[in-house]
Chain A
Amino acid sequence: MFVFIIRRLFQTIPVMIGVTLAVFLMMHLIPGDPAQIMAGERADEAQLEQMRENLGLNDPLYQQYFRYVGNAIQGDLGTSIRTDRAVTEEIFTNRIWITFELALYGTVLAVILGLIAGIISATRKYSFSDVSLMIVALFGMSMPNFWLGIMLIYFFSVNLGWFPTIGWESWKHMVLPVLTIGTGGAAIIARMTRSSMLEVLDNDYIRTAYAKGVHDRVVIYKHALRNALVPVVTIVGLQFGTLLGGAVITETVFAINGLGRLVVDSIRMRDFPMVQGTILVCAVLFVVVNFIVDITYRLINKRIELN
């Protein structure tokens, strides 16, 4: 197990290098002078020169990259053009936790709903409940979440007044955004669970279990589900990433001050250090979560992996 963790850790190194490189290069890929971009539109030539000096833009590219990574490791992702605050301060004070919470609750909701729906569907193949659940899942998967968010606000906040429209404070604020962000994932997990369960239920060892006189329920939850979950667990990590991305939309719709909204606002304001920083943090967060999921997965399914 220890060896596996180390090996998996080494695998993330090239990804991390690639991610930082990509984010670093963003600045240089933008058409125009990076100093101009960093200093803002109205900067004069002296200011620009000063900026070049400060940012080390006159150094060779690889030196700039190493400096960027070195600074990033020390928690320096530059300064926001818009607010003059440190990018890391803006990200880590509040925003990252809100987004993390949102994505986490969304994932939990997706997993719970998806598993329940998938199991019901698989155990009652071709029944009315199976067909209707799968139709719902198809629609859930195909639904643009920005539209879902707006419609939820319209029905539950504007019409019924049950939940507040915007913000992220009490649990009441969280209901609609979590629904918005989790629906797509729930649909995908439901479909995945169903097909995985159906495959497992065709296995010989399920017949063995029935032949032992095991109750149908126990066959499903003890014998089938454990095996069916294997492929499902792998997509939960991916779902978390999708949800992290989905936070961009959800936070915009519900005016939640998380990372997603920060990215969008910063792009609009052309606040590039902030865009860079946020995207980097999200990517790193995703890589870390995937790493954790992989380790957990491995822990749970050591025996299957060996098989």
Chain B
Amino acid sequence: MTISNQENILEVRNLCTSFFTDEGEVKAVDGVDFSIEKGKTIGIVGESGSGKSITSLSIMRLVQEPAGKVVDGEIVFKGENLLTKTKKEMRDIRGNKISMIFQEPMTSLNPTLTCGEQIAESLRIHQKLNRKEARVKAIEMLKLVGIPSPEKRVKQYPFELSGGMRQRVMIAIALACNPELLIADEPTTALDVTIQAQILELIKKLQEELGTSLMIITHDLGVVAEMCDRVAVMYCGKVVEYADVKTIFTDPKHPYTIGLLNSVPRHDLKVEGELSVIKGSVPSPFELPSGCRFVTRCPHAREICHRELPALETKEDGNQVRCWIHTDQWEKQAEAVSTHE
């Protein structure tokens, strides 16, 4: 397996998270590997249903038990496996060493507590500040995330703020204790386009100032291009391509990644004509194809794709892809397919 790298702040190895429903087990995350280098940004990309959010919740150990459970794998944060931590140890890490920003700023803040109280809470827990100190720090944080007249805002309730402002408050909460890793789960999806850019810029700026490592979960390749160093593309609970951001955009390997890229309007390539979309939809988690999970939507699918799940193969440049096309098997298949079709 991968050798632990001191430069990596987080290493996820063979992570498997399942939900147990009346209809059976749903493998929401099924053997996911990736790592985040210190101070760098990784993007986890995929459609809804790909398991990207569950991956982040698994890292925080916030998957709702008993319905959901991390069933296998390791999550190594600074050399220590988070999955073996006790509840108390996890509480000391959450909001302190690893923080998280959620998708819905409208509902992710407690309506009955002021913004100040909500920022101060993690400071009081993790840095043992008293009420007064925490309040001062909270105002400082609000200033840092660019909220005007923070002395006034600190006393306000979430409903008195706009969506963009609330997301800034969320960021202030997440960064209050200066975490080493920030997980942002679709941080801009629920916001207006103009606000989206501001929030991304803010996250980027703060990341550079504070030296935080960042994990961004998104379905928006624009966000990836702007923010990330490495990208993991997920499909149906598995990583299908894992590469540096440049390769993803210039030389994508997996048909799914290519499909995603083709469905995004790009101003750098002045291609005329319509955007293509990936045909079909994500299969039901109860009816996953037995071979490659993308087979039902893949334009290049061959017999082997239906039969066997390809492995995540590492290329010479260190990038990884999970596709038969990029294996020796593919050529051998060629003849078989020509008779098949």
Contacts and interface: CB of A to CB of B under 8 A. Distances in A.
Interface in A177-224: 203-205, 207-216, 222-223
B102 A208 contact: yes
A227 interface: yes
Contacts of B60: 210-211
B96 A211 contact: no
B170 interface: yes
B112 A303 contact: yes
B283 interface: no
A215 B91 contact: yes
A13 interface: no
A306 interface: yes
A127 to B, nearest CB: 11
B17 interface: no
A227 B111 contact: yes
Nearest to B122: A212
A190 to B, nearest CB: 22
Interface string B78-104: 000000000100111111100110101
Interface in B101-121: 102, 104, 107-113, 121
Interface residues of A, number: 21
Contact of B104 (A204, A209, A223, A303): A204
Residue in A212, A216, A304 whose Cβ sees the most chain B Cβ within 10 Å: A212
Given A212-B173, A213-B122, A307-B159, A207 B91 contact: no
B107 A211 contact: no
Contacts of B170: 208
Chain A interface mostly helix, strand, loop or mixed? helix
A211 B109 contact: no
A209 B99 CA distance: 11
Nearest to B61: A210
A211 B87 CA distance: 12
A211 B159 contact: no
B102 A307 contact: no
Contacts of B110: 205, 208-209, 223, 226-227
A207 B62 contact: yes
A306 B112 CA distance: 12
B96 A226 contact: no
B204 interface: no
Contact of B108 (A205, A216, A222, A226): A205
Contact of A213 (B93, B107, B157): B93
A209 B110 CA distance: 8
A211 B111 contact: no
A204 B107 contact: yes
B137 interface: no
Contacts of B62: 207, 210-211
Given A212-B125, A303-B157, A227 B102 contact: no
23 contacts: A204-B104, A207-B108, A208-B102, A208-B108, A210-B60, A211-B60, A211-B99, A212-B95, A212-B99, A212-B122, A212-B173, A213-B90, A213-B96, A213-B122, A213-B125, A214-B91, A214-B95, A214-B121, A214-B125, A215-B91, A222-B113, A223-B110, A226-B110
Task: Across the A-B interface, give the 4 residue pairs with the lowest CB-CB distance, nearest first.
Answer: A212-B95, A213-B94, A213-B95, A307-B159
Given A214-B121, A214-B125, A227-B111, 10 more contacts: A204-B108, A205-B108, A205-B110, A208-B102, A208-B108, A211-B62, A211-B95, A212-B95, A213-B125, A303-B111
Interface of A: 203-205, 207-216, 222-223, 226-227, 303-304, 306-307
